[in-house]
Amino acid sequence: MRVLLTGAAGFIGGHIASALRSDGHDVIASDAFLASAHGEAPREVDGIDRLDVRSPAELSTAMAGVDVVCHQAAVVGAGVSMADAPAYASHNDFGTAVLLAAMAENRCSRLVLASSMVVYGEGHYRCDTHGAVRPLPRRTEDLENGMFDNRCPVGDEPLTWDIVSENAPLEPRSLYAASKTAQEHFALAFSLATGSSVTALRYHNVYGDHMPRDTPYSGVAAMFRSSLEAGQAPRVYEDGTQMRDFVDVRDVAAANLAAVNIGLSGFAPLNVCSGNPISIGEVASILAAAHGGAEPVVTGQFRPGDVRHIVASGDRAEKLIGFKASVHPDDGLVRFASAPLRDAASAGPPRV
């Protein structure tokens, strides 16, 4: 199939391009080469066309003969300040809307969308007294006093985290999360209006080869790696027991390949995860030990908008597209401790 891949010069996009080509697909690789991700004067990459998905004219050319769009292009990270909001809305949401319009105009009816677990906000929680509950946002005064766990909104009892599935309500709590939720909503409307197929892959914490080095918009695994390379101890926020699912980028590429090869009907959100929960503190400890660096430091610091726990079920992805992660975090993170990273060369915050 002829696949238009946006964001192909990025960390995840590069792995997806390789997976698609290895499977025999004709890949039209594209990227906007934004300065915030690739530097002020970014070096274009052979085989990757410069494309801004916000440009109908550029898309008109790129869409010729395309069977499937694999949309990875996005401004990433939680957002450092509200000043970043226009860039997220412009590149992620307006860009997706323009892309969907171009798909409809060119009668391309299949989209694989890079979404994220951040659309859920907090994960799934259970109270021993009141059953499944949705916790309220954590209060700043509690966090400042080292009270990190969520409490029951009914009786203030401590909560236990549980697995989150794709039918959980969406409650974005960061700029990036808000933009990803909007992307999904545009894609759902596109699917309903045109009868098109949309598979929204909700990535959990992705790590792996060629991940960008430490930037304010980088993932926590890369931040820990960068600290270790600088001879510093990884700094762990809160108390380090917050639970996540870390998924190797090779598995993320495999999930995209499966979604391209299997055209689901309608709008289908799928968790892309390892299925093996791990705490942030454990991630830091595994990387430190494998790298031979200093023991992690648990700081007790926190970031506004961070969620406490979010752990996914990958059952639906296995059932619908046959995807099941092959890399356990215990093994993948040890490998990542010495994996090559990419110099982000960021030129500052994202711009409109």
**Listing from the earlier edge strand, what are the strands of the sheet with 68-71?**
49-50, 26-31, 2-6, 68-71, 110-116, 197-203, 267-272
* Overall pTM > 0.85: yes
Q: Minimal CA–CA distance to 269: which of 350, 344, 191?
A: 191
Give all strands (DSSP E) within the chain, no chain letters. 2-6, 26-31, 49-50, 68-71, 110-116, 124-127, 131-133, 160-164, 197-203, 205-207, 235-236, 243-244, 246-248, 267-272, 278-279, 297-298, 311-312
Residue-wise pLDDT for 231-258, tens only, equals 999 999 999 999 999 999 999 999 999 9
Cα(50)–Cα(53) distance, integer angstroms: 10
Predicted local confidence at residue 229, as pLDDT: 92
Residue-wise pLDDT for 108-153, tens only, equals 999 999 999 999 999 999 999 999 999 988 989 999 999 999 999 9
The distance of Cα 243 from the centroid of its chain, to the nearest Å, equals 16
**Length of the chain measured in residues:** 352
Give all strands (DSSP E) within 150-216, no chain letters. 160-164, 197-203, 205-207
Cα(129)–Cα(159) distance, integer angstroms: 10
Interhelix angle 280-291/329-336, nearest 10 degrees: 50
Q: How does DSSP classify residue 207?
A: E
Q: Count of alpha carbons within 13 Å of 127, Cβ hemisphere only?
A: 16
Report, as an integer, the average pLDDT of 28-36: 87
Residue-wise pLDDT for 264-288, tens only, equals 999 999 999 999 999 999 999 999 9
Report, as an integer, the average pLDDT of 99-103: 98
Q: DSSP letters of 264-304?
A: -SSEEEEEE--S--EEHHHHHHHHHHHHT-PPPEE-----T
Tokens 């809160």 — which residue?
238
Task: Report CA torsion sign: 223, 199, 46, 58.
Answer: negative
Predicted local confidence at residue 262, as pLDDT: 96
Tokens 């697909």 — which residue?
25
Quick check: 345 pLDDT over 70?
no
Burial class (CB in 10 A: 0-12, 13-18, 19+), 295: exposed
Q: Where is pLDDT greater, at 45 or 176?
A: 176
Report, as an integer, the average pLDDT of 223-231: 93
**Residue 27 CB neighbour total at 10 angstroms:** 22
Beta bridge partners of 199: 112, 268
Quick check: 43 pLDDT over 90?
no
Evaluate whether 98 touches 105 at the Cβ level (below 8 Å). Answer: no
- Which residues, at least 6 apart from 74, have a Cβ–Cβ distance to it below 8 Å? 7, 91, 92, 114, 179, 180, 183
Cα(222)–Cα(211) distance, integer angstroms: 7
Q: Where is pLDDT greater, at 64 or 217?
A: 64
Predicted local confidence at residue 343, as pLDDT: 75
Report, as an integer, the average pLDDT of 287-297: 97
Percent of the chain with pLDDT over 70: 93
Cα(188)–Cα(270) distance, integer angstroms: 13
Q: Minimal CA–CA distance to 90: which of 199, 182, 219, 13?
A: 182
Using DSSP's 3-state secondary structure scheme, residue 94 falls into helix
Cα(73)–Cα(71) distance, integer angstroms: 6
Average pLDDT, the chain: 93
